[in-house]
A and B are shown apart, each in its own frame.
Chain A
C-alpha cells in the first residue's frame, strides 16, 4: 500500500452500456512509486443494497520514477503519466497478459535552467490528452504539446507563466485552459504562434492559487476551478474576467474538480481536508423527464430547450446556493487528504493519503 496521488477510470468505448471495470492509480512520496491497474470485477458482485461488495483486484503494476503528479488515459490501453521529475511517460496496458510497459517517454519535458546553467527536471503538474494530442504543464511554467507518436514535442511555450501552472484542460480542440498559483485562468490558442495567452481571467484580490480545473462536458463556456482555500469557482468564459460564482466549499486545498461526464448537473470535488463532495443541481428538475441519458436524435431538441432553462441557470445562476444545489459529503470521519477522484457512469473511485482506494458503484442510487 502506498499513498495514492491519482485515480482514473479507463474510458469506455462510446457504445458501451456496462459500467467501467478498470481503473489506474498512481502513488506519491515513496522511494519506489508505482503505477497500478485495478479491476473491480463484474456487476454480479453488487449486492441487493447496491453497495459494491468485492474488493478491487490489483491486476498489474510498474515502477514509476518520481511521484505520479497527474495521469490520464489516452485511449483504452494507453495511460499518460506526469512525473515529479519532469518526465512524461506513456504506459501501455496489455490486457491479454495483464502487464504494463513503457510505450513512449519524454525525458525532462519540464526542466529548470539553474543559475549555473545546468538543467534540472521540474515537476510536471498536469496533463490532458485528446488523442493523439497531449498537453502538459509544469512547475517551470512551461506548456508542452506532444503527439503520442512523435519523439519531439510539437510545440513548446517557454515561460508561459511566471508562476507554477497547476492544471490544464482542453477547452476546444485547439484551445487549452491553464490555472496557476497566483489565481489566474489563461486561455491559449494553439493555432496562434504568439507565445501569449489569448485571454486571462483572475480571481479578485487575494491571488489564491488555483489547483484544478474542469470544463462542462456539453457547454464549453462553463468552467469550474478549485483553489487553495477550498473555494469552488464557476466561470463563464464568454463574459467578464471574473468568476460567475464563488462557492465556499472545503476547508483546505481543493485538489480535484470533475463534472460528471454524462450527467453534468453533478459535480465532484475532493480536498486536502479529507472530504469529497457531491454537488447536485438537478434536484428541482428531477420531475421532468431526464434528458441526460439521451440516446437518439429525437430527444436532442428537447434537451436543447431544457438546457437553457435548467442547466445553464443551475451552474451560472447568481445565487446557486439557495435552493437549487444539494451538496453531500461522501466521506464521513475522514482525516487525511483525498488527493484524487474520478467519475464515470455510475462509478466513483477516489484515493487518499491514508493509502486507501475506495470504489463506489452506485452514485445515483
Chain B
C-alpha cells in the first residue's frame, strides 16, 4: 500500500531518502524545486508518496521555523503497532510454528484435513481479534478512537472474508456439489447486514404482521435457508386460510428442492437429473398462474427458478455482488464446477453493479480468487491491506498446500519467503514483538539467517535478562559472530559502570581474549593503587577459563600467590612467584612489583629461596634494570633506585644465608 507522508512536500523542496532495515528516513534538502514536470511516480503534485508496502507514519519531525529542514521517519507496517492486533500476531505465530512442524508424511486426505484445520484456526484468530476490536470500539469514548476501531473491524472482517474464500477454493479445493454448499456457508457467515432485520422481525410479537416479514422470507430464500423460510411461511399460511393451498404448493416446492448433501453418495448426474425435474415442476406452477394472486409468492417462485431479474430486484437484501453470485448459482447452476466459477462471477459483478459504481479493491481480490489467480489475489491483497500479516500467512499456507511451487520471483528467493521476510522484519522493528520474528526467519531457508543476523544486532539490550534471551537465540543457531558482539556490548557496558567482575564474566563467555586482557589490566592497576584485590569471589573461581588470555592467567596466578602467602605457605608462594617471572607469564611492567613482593619472603627468619632460586631472582632484577638505557635510568626517580638497592641488599643477604644453610646441610 502506498501512502502519503503528511507534511512532506516535494514541490517546495527536493527530498532525499535513506532506507533502513525497517524504517525509511525522508528528509528535506536545501535545494528548492527546479522548474519542470513532476516525476511520474507522484499521484498528486505537491505530496510525497511512498510506493510499495510502506505505510507512512511520521515518528518524529524537526521543529522550528518552516524554513528549516525537516526529517521524517517512516515506519514499515503500521499495523504492527496496534495494541489489539498483538493477540493476532501472537496466536498466529503459534499456528504458524505448528504448521511448519507438522508432518508432511500424512498423505492425501488427512493432510488436506490438517491444512483445512490450520486455515480454520487462522480464521478463528482473526475472528477473535475482530471481536475484541468490536468491544473496544463500543467501549471507546473518544469518537476518533471509535472510528479508528471500526475501521480496524472492517479491515479484519474483509481479511476473514478473503481468507475463507481462499480456504474453500484453494486449500480445501471443494469439488462441484460441495463447492456450492461451502459458498453458501461463506455468504451466510459474512453477509450479516440483514441479520439485525431478521432478529427484529422474529422477535416481534406477530412476525407475520411485521412490515419487513416478506423481506426476511426473501433473505432466507436467497441464502438457501429453506427450513427457516418454510417455518415462517407456515405461520403466514395459518393466518390466511383462504390461500392455504397456494402456501402448501410453495412449501412443497421448497421442501422438494434437491440439495447436495455431504454424506450421501449420489452422483452429480443423479443430482442434476433430480434438479432438472424439480425445476420443471416450478416452471409449471409459475406458468399456470398458481401464485398470480400473491406477488410476494410469485417472486419467490421466480427466485427458485433462478430468474436473474427477480433475484436482482432483491439487491438491497443481498448487499453484495458475491451474495448475488451464490444465490444465482444455487438456483440455476447447483452443480457448478470450480473452473466455471469465473464466468458467473464476472457476469454477476457486472449485473449487480450495473455500471453504476466501479469495483473496489475487495471486489478485485475476490474476483481474482474466483478466477483461481492465486498470485493475483496475493498481489492485490499486498496492495490493498496495510499489513504484511495477512499475505505472509496466507501465502505460507498455500505454499504448504503445494500450490505455489512453480512461481519464482526475479529477486530474492520465492514469494513465500519474500513475504515472510517482510512481515518478520516488521515484527523486529517493534520494541516487544521481535521475539516472534525469530521463528519466521527460521523458516525462510534462503535469506532468513542473514536477516536474523542483521536484525539481532540491532535489538537494544537494556537489561541482562534481555541480553540473555537474545544470546540464547543466537547460540541455538550457532551465530558466533552475534554471540561475540552481544557479549562484547554487555562487557563494555559493565566496564563503563565499573563492574569489572561482570565485565570479565561476559568476556569469558564470549571467549574474547583481547577484552579479557584489558579487564585483567584494570584489575592489576586497581591492585597497584589500592593494594588489595576486588572481586575475589570471581578471581578465585576462574578455573579453566583462566587460560583465555595470558594476562588473565597471570591475574589468577598472582592472586593464588597472595592466597598462598596469606596462608603462610611461603615456599610454595616463592616458587609460584619465581615461575611467574621466569616463564614470562607476568608482563614486564609488573616485574618490579613482583620483586617487591619477594622482599618480605627474603627477609623471613627461615630461608625460603634456595641458592638457585636466588640466582634466578637476581637475574630477573638485572634483566629489568639492564634492559633500560642510561638516559631512562636517569629519569627513574629516587624511589625506584632505592627499591633496586633494597632488593639487591636483601638478595645478597638471602644468598649468604642460603649458602651457609645449604653448606651446613650438605656437611652434616
- Tell me whether A and B are bound partners: yes
Query: In residues 78-125 of chain B, which contact A (Cβ within 8 Å)?
Result: 83, 86-87, 90, 93-94, 97-98
A327 smallest CB distance to B (angstroms): 22
A335: Cβ under 8 A from any B Cβ: yes
Given A113-B498, A161-B537, A162-B501, also A205-B544 (CB < 8 A)? yes
Most chain B CB neighbours (cut-off 10 Å) among A161, A163, A202, A228? A163
Candidates A28, A164, A354; contact of B94 at CB < 8 Å: A354
A27 smallest CB distance to B (angstroms): 9
**Interface size, chain A (Cβ < 8 Å):** 47
A306 to B489 Cα, complex, angstroms: 53
Indicate if the CB atoms of B502 and A354 lie closer than 8 Å: no
Indicate if the CB atoms of B465 and A123 lie closer than 8 Å: yes
Candidates B432, B439, B472, B535; contact of A335 at CB < 8 Å: B439
A67 to B466 Cα, complex, angstroms: 10
Query: In residues 330-365 of chain A, which contact B (Cβ within 8 Å)?
Result: 333, 335-337, 353-356
A120: Cβ under 8 A from any B Cβ: yes
A71 to B87 Cα, complex, angstroms: 25
Which of chain B's residues have a CB closer than 8 A to the CB of A333?
A: 94, 98
B538: Cβ under 8 A from any A Cβ: yes
Indicate if the CB atoms of B463 and A202 lie closer than 8 Å: no
Which of chain B's residues have a CB closer than 8 A to the CB of A184?
A: 537, 541
1/0 contact trace for A150-193 toward B, CB 8 Å?
Answer: 00000000010111100000000000000001101010000000
A31: Cβ under 8 A from any B Cβ: yes
Indicate if the CB atoms of A207 and B534 lie closer than 8 Å: no
A112 to B498 Cα, complex, angstroms: 8
Majority DSSP secondary structure for residues of B touching A: helix
B2: Cβ under 8 A from any A Cβ: no
Given A335-B97, A354-B93, also A163-B538 (CB < 8 A)? yes
Which of chain B's residues have a CB closer than 8 A to the CB of A202?
A: 541
A3 to B431 Cα, complex, angstroms: 11
Which of chain B's residues have a CB closer than 8 A to the CB of A164?
A: 464, 502, 505
A87 smallest CB distance to B (angstroms): 13
Indicate if the CB atoms of A336 and B538 lie closer than 8 Å: no
1/0 contact trace for A197-234 toward B, CB 8 Å?
Answer: 00010100111000000000000000000001000000
Given A207-B545, A356-B90, also A162-B463 (CB < 8 A)? no
A272 smallest CB distance to B (angstroms): 6
B435: Cβ under 8 A from any A Cβ: yes
A164 to B501 Cα, complex, angstroms: 9
Which of chain A's residues have a CB closer than 8 A to the CB of B94?
A: 333, 335, 354
A209 to B464 Cα, complex, angstroms: 12
Indicate if the CB atoms of A205 and B543 lie closer than 8 Å: yes
A161 to B536 Cα, complex, angstroms: 9
A256: Cβ under 8 A from any B Cβ: no
Which of chain A's residues have a CB closer than 8 A to the CB of B508?
A: 207
Indicate if the CB atoms of A207 and B541 lie closer than 8 Å: yes
Write the chain B residue with the least CB distance to A140. Answer: B499
A122: Cβ under 8 A from any B Cβ: yes
Indicate if the CB atoms of A29 and B431 lie closer than 8 Å: yes
Interface residues of B (CB under 8 A from A): 83, 86-87, 90, 93-94, 97-98, 431-432, 435-436, 439, 462-466, 468-469, 472, 476, 496-502, 505, 508, 534-538, 541, 543-545
A-B contact pairs, 12 of them (CB 8 A): A67-B466, A69-B465, A84-B462, A112-B499, A115-B498, A123-B464, A141-B499, A181-B505, A207-B508, A207-B545, A272-B469, A333-B98
Closest 10 A/B residue pairs (Cβ): A162-B501, A162-B535, A112-B497, A162-B538, A123-B463, A84-B463, A29-B432, A355-B90, A163-B501, A354-B90
